[in-house]
Amino acid sequence: MVNKVKSQTELSLFPKPKISDCFSVESRIILHQGDSYDFLKTIPSNIAMLIITSPPYNVGKEYETRTSMQAYLESQEPVIDQLVRILNDKGSICWQVGNFVEDSEVFPLDIFYYNIFKKKQLKLRNRIIWHFGHGLHASKRFSGRYETVLWFSKSDDYVFNLDDVRIPAKYPGKTHFKGKNKGKPSGNPLGKNPSDIWELIANEWGSGLWNIPNVKANHPEKTIHPCQFPIELVERCVLALTNENDWILDSYCGVGSALIAGLIHNRKVIGCDKEANYISVAKERIADFLNGTLKKRPLGKPVYVATGREKVAQIPNEWKSQISIDK
Residues 210-258 pLDDT 10s: 454 544 445 444 554 445 578 888 998 999 999 999 999 999 999 999 9
- At residue 283, the pLDDT reads 95
CATH 3.40.50.150 fits 3-326, yes or no: yes
Kindly state the average pLDDT of the residues 153-173.
Answer: 92
Give the confidence band of 70 by pLDDT, cuts at 50, 70, 90.
confident
What pLDDT, on a 0 to 100 scale, did the predictor assign at position 204?
28
What string of H, E and C letters represents the secondary structure of the chain?
CCEEECCCCCCCCCCCCCEECCCCCCCCEEEEECCHHHHHCCCCCCCEEEEEECCCCCCCCCCCCCCCHHHHHHHHHHHHHHHHHHEEEEEEEEEEECEEEECCEEEEHHHHHHHHHHHCCCEEEEEEEEECCCCCCCCCCCCCCEEEEEEEECCCCCCCCHHHHCECCCCCCCEECCCCCECCECCCCCCECCCCHHHHHHCCCCCCCEECCCCCCCCCCCCCCCCCCCHHHHHHHHHHHCCCCCEEEECCCCCCHHHHHHHHCCCEEEEEECCHHHHHHHHHHHHHHHHCCEEECCCCCCCCCCCCCCHHHCCCHHHHHHHHHHC
Summarised one tens digit per residue, pLDDT across range 274-307 is 999 999 999 999 999 999 988 776 655 555 555 6
> What confidence category does residue 168 fall into, taking pLDDT thresholds of 50, 70 and 90?
confident
Mean pLDDT of 17-36: 95
Give the pLDDT band of residue 321 (cuts 50, 70, 90). Answer: low
Band the pLDDT of 59: cuts 50, 70, 90.
low
> Tens of pLDDT along 2-25?
455 555 544 455 568 899 999 999
Q: Where are the domains of the chain?
A: 3-326
- pLDDT surpasses 80 at 123: yes
What average pLDDT is seen over the chain? 81
Q: How much is the pLDDT for 170? A: 84
